[in-house]
Chain A
Amino acid sequence: MTNRAELTRRDIMKSGAAAATVTLASGVTLMAFGGTAAEASGRADSGKRWGLLIDASKCSPDCNDCVTACKTENGWGQDIESDHISSEQAPEWIRKVTLRDKSTGRTTSAPVMCQHCEEPPCVDVCPTGASMKRADGIVLVDKHICIGCRYCMMACPYKARSFVHEPITDQPEQNPRGKGTVESCNLCAPRIDSGRIPACVEACEKAGHSAILFGDLKDPDSPISKALKQYPNAALREDLELNPGVRYTNL
């Protein structure tokens, strides 16, 4: 994929119209930036794999801040949207679950969102390639080519995806979403691309829990990699061997 500077230049060369002579000058200038521009601006890096480590012992059953922050950041679950559809039809990017161990009776809570699998079943089954994994391991839906068949929702073992059941307006600029397409946690890809941590991670830290640790799983020196090496941890539905990028500890 070229960047826009190269695209513009190519078109100008091809069209050769008189009208283009004005832009030719800037086209030439832009050309010089062509090769390196994208790298400088945070292209999804295949040398990284973003992930989360969720420490259930730090997660408070009463706190819902990660879910609220996700709703605000990504614009889902607003009252105007939820009022006149059933709760089963309401969007759900991240949810809090409270679990009781059947054998010991111990109760824990943790957020569940898209687990950003290394081998995502939703990507395998998508007929058009709308369900995709970025170079940096983030799994998300390209709503531009999603046809709304919902096969990815059938395939996801975590119920991480939801379908937009009705028309919506005034979406946040950073998160376009609309009727008839499937959506899920994208690990706040627009925030990561602009060098920021995901909204849930920020909210959890602000709430004083720091139960969600964010980082690069491929970097052995990153805090998340060190923590994973140090403490026992698990993936949900480990039997499926999907190698999720979201891991749990003390569950």
Chain B
Amino acid sequence: MAMEQTIYRELKATPGVWQMAALLLAFLAAAAGAWFYMEHHGHAVTGMDNQIVWGLPHVFAIFLIVAASGALNVASIASVFGQTAYKPMARFSSLLAITLLVGGLAIVVLDLGRADRLIVAMTTYNFSSIFAWNVLLYNGFIAVVAVYLVMQMMRRLDYKWVRLAGLVAFLWRLALTTGTGSIFGWLVARPGYDAAIMAPLFIVMSFSFGLAMFILVTLALFKLNNRPFGDQLLVRMGRLLGIFAAAVLYFTVVQHLTNLYAAEHGGVERFILLEGGIYTLLFWGVQVIVGGLIPIALVFLNPSRSSTILAAILVVIGGFAQVYVIVIGGQAYPLEIFPGYEVLEGWHEGVVNPYTPSIWELMLGLGGVALALFAAGVGAKVLRVLPTNLSDSNVAAKG
């Protein structure tokens, strides 16, 4: 199989593809139903309240938004950093980045108290708000990556323009994740958030979650169409995932060490690391061990196809737990409004705020994931973004 060219072909509509589409549509229908129910009754029917104002939908949304910018990594590695082995996957990487972002944003928008006023959010900006900037960053990301994707698909275009578009998209995605991290990093009021490290932490999280999502979605689509994906290539991507997962752990360590050093943040650290119940369990058990140490061990100690797939699944699970701990755990820990006083009576003062997500929030969140995957599938079905053959001999022949 010497010197075979990379050929991009639309996904074939096999029965497996139809079944997958039907499954995702079922999730989308469930999410639509959940949204109508929440919209009709108000947020009273959710587990969210005046203490836990952002709940499970936001965990899903932030995970998807963070993963979206990371899913673009594969394309960036090819166009910006010149790794030719990644080049055949660059198109789908761009497409997946867009659809993951759309899925995440759909959740955020549908969770708004007044989702009907989306037009206000899109036309009225308060530029001192990082949220308003994020609206621009997200919309801009979709536009920039769409242009980048189109340029990759124009065969006659000089490759230097693709490189340039790739560079713009790469820089944009760094800005986007900085913005997402700053949603939390700039909240001075809450001890669990207020930290400059949030922005870089979110960037390494995006590297890790995005690559894991890309590996899983791409492999699933390849399997549905019986297209070969080489073991060596997968193991190579697994190693990269391991490095990213280790970087997330490193930033997490720095985040908590910095907080531990400041006496004023001692309380929230004790909460997350020791006494936070579900949050402590999610942090150590799921985020650090399942989503960090195990996948790193898998890809470096036993590099193989199955190790890489398992590692990617674990990174996704651990990443979800990490976002949950940040978003919900940060709100569950009480605000200290009266330092030096014990609050005998008040409005949920000084107590850990309970949160039990409702089924509606879960359905909405899963709907966002389904939307992202469905849109990626439809994109692969109508656009020539997926290569027909990523077997090792084929990749090596070009490399």
Contacts and interface: CB of A to CB of B under 8 A. Distances in A.
Q: Within the complex, are A and B direct neighbours (CB within 8 Å)?
A: yes
Contacts of B41: 166-167
A90 B51 CA distance: 11
A163 B113 CA distance: 9
Interface stretch (A18-26, A33-41, A143-151, A213-221): A143-151
B220 interface: no
B131 interface: yes
B337 interface: yes
B43 interface: yes
Contacts of B130: 125
Interface string B93-121: 00000000000000010001111011011
Given A145-B124, A154-B54, A180 B112 contact: yes
A92 interface: yes
Nearest to A84: B44
Interface residues of A, number: 57
A92 B126 contact: no
A165 B44 contact: yes
Contact of B345 (A85, A98, A121): A98
Contact of B113 (A88, A102, A125, A181): A181
Interface of B: 41-44, 49-54, 108, 112-115, 117-118, 120-121, 124-126, 128-132, 135, 183, 186-190, 331, 335, 337-338, 340-349, 353-354
25 contacts: A88-B50, A90-B50, A96-B345, A97-B343, A97-B346, A98-B344, A98-B345, A101-B342, A109-B345, A121-B187, A123-B126, A126-B129, A127-B131, A148-B113, A154-B190, A154-B331, A157-B190, A163-B53, A164-B113, A165-B49, A166-B43, A180-B114, A181-B114, A236-B338, A240-B189
Interface of A: 61, 84-86, 88-92, 95-103, 107, 109, 112, 121, 123-129, 145-151, 153-159, 161-167, 179-182, 236-237, 240
Given A88-B348, A128-B126, 12 more contacts: A88-B353, A88-B354, A97-B347, A98-B345, A121-B189, A129-B126, A148-B112, A148-B114, A154-B53, A155-B188, A163-B50, A236-B338
